[in-house]
Structure 1
Amino acid sequence: MEIPNKDNPYPIEGNKKICFLKNIVANPMISVGDYTYYDDEHDACNFEKNVLYHYEIIGDVLIIGKFCMIASGVKFIMNGASHRMEGVSTYPFNLFGSDWAAATPTLDQLPYKGNTVIGNDVWIGRNVTVMAGVKIGDGAIVAANSTVTKDVKPYAIIGGNPAKLIRYRFSSEVIQKLLIIKWWDWDIETVTQNLELITNKVGDTNIDILSNVRAK
């Protein structure tokens, strides 16, 4: 059985625009699952440049699951971009030192929306912006040029600025079955053996067979 090497940064020979992302990311505050790939028209090493306002002192983490597809220009805006809104002004006077430094807020005074979490088998289109603290569910699709400001349910298709639900990929019954199957958590040999079922159009037959595979 010949399977792509998840530890190979550039799995397509001669192509450094597509990478298995976990092998490129160095920041310990970014976690990426196996086989998730990033496609950058210039250089796949650009990914971390698109994770913005990500400061260690704040401590938020970007978590990306397995088998995700991330297109060129996708940006993640982390919690460090947020300004306090309770005051008369939102201007961050403290950043510029001198007598302004006394206005420095404590960390618990800063807006904080939690970690940004991308599920498994998520497709994020070109030039999407994902805002801080957003959770995108397994199997979701985000249309190109969207701005994601709210959590996205599993297997939803969303688009726009701000992104809104377009439709769900499958019926609620099928979605529930897929979330139980969790094919992305199988060992890679089992995934490979069942690729025809995983990639074919969803129907009762292949969903039932996949459910039995999961039950083993």
Structure 2
Amino acid sequence: MFGPDPLNPHPMPGFPQVCFIKNKIQNPAIIVGDYTYYDDPDGAENFERNVLYHFPFIGDKLVIGKFCAIARGVRFIMNGANHPMSGFSTYPFYIFGGGWEAAAPEAGELPFKGDTLIGNDVWIGYDSLIMPGVKIGDGAIISSRSVVTRDVAAYTVVGGNPAQPIKQRFDADVVVQLLNIAWWNWPVQKISQHLKAITAGDIAALKQAALS
């Protein structure tokens, strides 16, 4: 057998707090790759409750790659949380009706920062908050309780509020090679055969595995 079944929501027997969340997503505007898991003893299968202000009329998406590890309490703020800031008041009068709908913003007036895109093999630590339109590169690490307000480069560790780069995980030339290898796109049989190379820090060994 080549690894756990990606279609099994709870792949660890007796440990339901870990869920391969692709199997539980109902919202078509949330796209999650194989083997990405959410760890939460309060109901990991209810991951969608952590995607906030995600209103269909806004049209934004949350896209999460493969093999991501998402800790308990991680939240994604989507574009529906934004209020117009060009006028004197940011209060959303128009949503309450009663004649106030006349103050509804025109199309394009609401702040929109685009889709939120999380790469592959990203580790997002406990209680982190990801803001609208952020793009997090492959292999990045988000430290616990970070507030991510801007894009995070591949294989970068960030932390704090707002999150700032702490360090690069590998030299720039190694990062380029890792992105070219993109082991997460290999067939699962190949991944299973080369786990030691994937989890070690030997780029030569991983390159050799990629060629096998």
TM-score range, shorter chain: over 0.9
Taking the TM superposition and a 5 Å limit, the aligned residue runs for 1:1-216 are: 1-200=1-200, 202-203=201-202, 207-215=203-211
Contact 2:16–2:41 under 8 Å retained in 1: no
Which deviates more, 78-87 or 96-105?
Answer: 96-105
Q: Residue 58 of structure 1 contacts residue 107 of structure 1 at CA under 8 Å; is this kept in 2?
A: no
- The answer for unaligned runs of 5 or more in structure 1 is none
1:212: how far off? 3.4
1:209 CA drift (Å):
3.0
TM-score, length-scaled by structure 2: 0.97
Which deviations, in whole Å up to 9, do the C-alpha atoms of 1:135-157 show, x marking residues without a partner? 00000000000000000000000
Is 1:141–1:157's contact at 8 Å kept on the other side of the alignment? yes
SS in 2 for 1:108: coil
Q: CA deviation at 1:74?
A: 0.2
Amino acid at match of 2:126: R
Deviation at 1:2, TM superposition (A): 4.0
How far did 1:46 drift? 2.6
Contact 2:2-2:189 within 8 A present in 1 as well: no
* Secondary structure, counterpart of 2:99 in structure 1: helix
Local SS of the residue matching 1:179: helix
How far, CA to CA, are the matches of 1:151 and 1:5 in structure 2? 32
- TM-score under structure 1 normalisation? 0.95
The count of aligned residue pairs is 212
Deviations 1:64-112 (A, max 9, x none): 0000000000000000000000001111110111121100113311100
Residue type of the alignment partner of 1:183: W
Q: Distance in 1 between matches of 2:185 and 2:137?
A: 15
Structure 2: state its 5+ residue gaps: none
Identity of aligned residues (%): 54
Aligned AA (2:37): Y
Partner AA of 1:193 in structure 2: Q
Q: C-alpha separation between the residues in 1 aligned to 2:2 and 2:181?
A: 24
**CA deviations over 1:168-209 (Å, ceiling 9, x no partner):** 111111111101110000000000000011112x13xxx123
Q: CA deviation at 1:19?
A: 0.5
Q: Counterparts of 1:77 and 1:147 in 2: how far apart (Å)? A: 10
Q: Separation in 1 of the partners of 2:153 and 2:175?
A: 10
